[in-house]
């Protein structure tokens, strides 16, 4: 069954402007942390940015240029997995990150003290990426790749990202030094914690979403069509109305949260959305369906 036309609501121009500005700001903050703290000191971030920094070391091509081109395949994957809005915002964010990194590359590092560079660089990256995710975009294709592998393996998104980054940091140990690799690991840890703080106040990556609404079936249908996530219904009874409804319960990852909230608000602006952190999820029922 397709998505009803009345539910395929387009965002207003103001919503688009706010999201584009926020994702662009996040991208610039990330570029600032990279170019004025980490890269001059040979300290890496994880994901595509880490691959780009290592590749730039050998190819004599600006890191910002490599970030853009390496991320292009992941933008297309993102369209198939998370839809048009995510793809547009991610494309804009990555373009701003690339341009900002190229521009800021001409400036000297703010500090050559390795620990300070690691802490402040990781903090700025975490804030920048967190802002982008909170407003529906992404600045690194490794998260999209992790979602793709999540469907093919028993590993969660967070586990896949950790594996990807361990490989990148191991390569960095051979290319730069093991001291730089360890500092890069510290950068990743700081950034990941700051992302969680910005996105949801230090919650975990996976979320359990309970939606109190009288339009649970409509929401479940659209969530399955747009996100590929199955829904469990929880019977609920209003304390005053005594009316029984069925509240959808859905498990998602952090970059799906904004899109899910959009879907719920489109269908029922008065719905109450309860977000609960989940430390781990086991079982095949958690796997998301491909939404080609």
In terms of average pLDDT, the best of 1-10, 141-150, 156-165, 172-181 is 172-181
To the question of domain 206-286 being in CATH 3.30.70.120, the answer is yes
Cβ-contact 59, 176 below 8 angstroms: no
Q: CA distances (Å), 235 to each of 224, 249, 271, in order?
A: 20, 10, 15
Which band of pLDDT confidence, cut at 50, 70 and 90, is reported for residue 6? very low
Are 165 and 46 within 8 A, CB to CB?
A: yes
In the chain the beta strands, taken as DSSP E runs, fall at 206-212, 232-237, 244-252, 272-278
Residue 244, phi then psi, degrees to nearest 5:
-90, 130
Helix (H, G, I), strand (E, B) or coil at 276: strand
Beta-carbon contacts of residue 105 (< 8 Å; ≥ 6 apart)? 35, 39, 62, 63, 64
The reported pTM is 0.71
The residue assigned the tokens 């048009």 is: 84
Q: What is the pLDDT of residues 212-260, one digit of tens each?
A: 998 999 999 999 988 888 899 999 887 787 888 889 999 887 778 888 9
Domain ranges of the chain: 5-200, 206-286
Q: How confident is the model at residue 5 (pLDDT cuts 50, 70, 90)?
A: very low
The predicted model gives 163-175 an average pLDDT of 89
**Which pLDDT belongs to residue 1?**
42
Percent with pLDDT over 70 in the chain: 84
Q: How far apart are CA 244 and CA 221, in angstroms?
A: 20
How far, CA to CA in Å, does 31 sit from each of 49, 142, 257? 10, 17, 25
Show the tokens assigned to 116. 């300070």
């Amino acid at each position: 069954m397709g998505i009803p036309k009345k539910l395929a609501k387009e965002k207003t121009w103001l919503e688009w402007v706010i999201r584009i500005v926020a994702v662009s700001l996040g991208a610039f903050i990330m570029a600032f942390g990279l170019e004025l703290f980490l890269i001059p000191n040979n300290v890496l971030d994880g994901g595509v940015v880490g691959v780009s920094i290592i590749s730039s070391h050998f190819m004599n091509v600006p890191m910002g240029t490599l970030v853009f081109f390496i991320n292009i395949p992941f933008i297309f994957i993102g369209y198939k997995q998370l839809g048009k809005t995510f793809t547009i915002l991610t494309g804009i964010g990555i373009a701003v990150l690339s341009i900002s990194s190229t521009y800021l590359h001409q400036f000297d590092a703010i500090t050559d003290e390795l620990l300070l560079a690691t802490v402040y660089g990781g903090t700025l990256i975490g804030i920048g990426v967190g802002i982008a995710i909170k407003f529906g975009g992404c600045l690194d294709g490794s998260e999209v790749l992790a979602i793709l592998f999540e469907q093919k393996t028993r590993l969660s998104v967070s586990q896949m990202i950790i594996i990807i980054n361990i490989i990148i940091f191991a390569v960095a140990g051979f290319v730069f030094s093991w001291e730089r690799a360890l500092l890069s690991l510290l950068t990743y840890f700081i950034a990941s914690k700051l992302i969680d703080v910005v996105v949801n106040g230090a919650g975990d990556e996976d979320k359990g979403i309970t939606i109190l609404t009288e339009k649970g079936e409509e929401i479940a249908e659209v969530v399955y069509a747009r996100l590929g996530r199955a829904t469990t219904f929880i019977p609920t009874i209003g304390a005053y109305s005594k009316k029984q409804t069925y509240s959808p319960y859905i498990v998602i990852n952090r970059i799906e949260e904004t899109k899910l909230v959009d879907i719920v608000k489109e269908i029922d602006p008065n719905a109450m959305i309860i977000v609960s952190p989940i430390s781990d999820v086991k079982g095949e029922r958690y796997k998301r369906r491909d939404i080609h």
